[in-house]
Amino acid sequence: MTTAFVLGGGGVLGAVEVGMLRALLERGITPDLVLGTSVGALNGALVAADPTPAVVDRLTGLWRTAATSGQEVYGDRPLRSVRRAVSTGTHLWSAKPLKQRLVDELGEVTFEELPVRFQVCAASIERAAEHWFSSGPVVDAVVASAAVPGLLPPARVGDEHYLDGGIVNSIPLGRAVRLGATRVFVLQVGRIDRPLSVPRRPWEVARVSFEIARRHRFVRELDELPDGVTAHVLPARGTSGRDDSLLGTRDFSGVEDRIEATYAASAAYLDGLR
């Protein structure tokens, strides 16, 4: 049996994945393969580097720091963000603080040096294609996967530029199956459970369109699981539609409550499998 952890994207909602990881690792469920997109790539990189319960404390500390000081992650005050948007025309925040925090956590580790096989999804601009990082520096790949359009600048790795992996594959279940996983635990942030409403404002159109595309692909891949492969979609708790607003992307308040609530729900789910 080959066990995969698939960690989906979701910005600030990615905190719930820490609760899921705690529930899994406490029960002795460890991955042979970790796949991550966007914030799931960040969480996934740490668990691939340290697939033990100890990693939960590291992740909780990272999210707790973000909750007490969003500027440590994004490095900007609102006025500076506005100035950057005007000067660049493409993004609000600098990627440098995020990259530095990842370097602090992971150093210069490469995919080849990780104890668990790990891959990261990003969207290639030049090729207009889904790209999977599986070799080279891990931090560069995670920054590329988390380059949210309009919020962070496109990330350059080698001769190409990348945007957030959620554009092309937000919850990469099918990738895990293609790589040989027979038991998949899906760590998703809760958006797939929310009902969608008809957009009423211009800025809601893109969000709703993206959600339709994201959910359609995941549901299709879930329906197309081959015989002999099982997938467990772990439950997320403590999230709401307010988290999808522009201001919500920086609102880290309540992340510890979300982690705890999701841990309890995931623990109950996993105990029910026994």
Residues annotated catalytic, as ranges:
38, 164
Helix (H) or strand (E) holding 187: strand 183-187
Q: Could you tell me which of 6, 3, 2 has the C-alpha nearest to residue 175?
A: 6
The structure tokens listed for 247 are 């201001």
What are the helix and strand counts (H, E) for the chain? 10, 8
Dihedral sign of CA atoms 259, 74, 68, 107 in order: positive
Structure tokens that stand for 117 in this block: 């096989």
Report the alpha-carbon distance of residue 188 to residue 182 in Å, rounded. 19
> Which of helix, strand or coil describes residue 44?
helix
Name the residue type at position 246: L
CA distances from 83 to 75, 78, 160, 188 (A): 13, 9, 26, 34
Can you name the residues that pair with 129 across neighbouring β-strands?
A: 124
Beta bridge partners of 141: none
Of residues 152, 128, 109, the one with CA closest to residue 144: 152
247: nearest Cα among 92, 102, 39: 92
Distances (CA, A) of 84 to 87, 201, 250: 5, 25, 16
Task: Locate all alpha helices (DSSP H) within 94-137, ordered by sequence.
Answer: 96-106
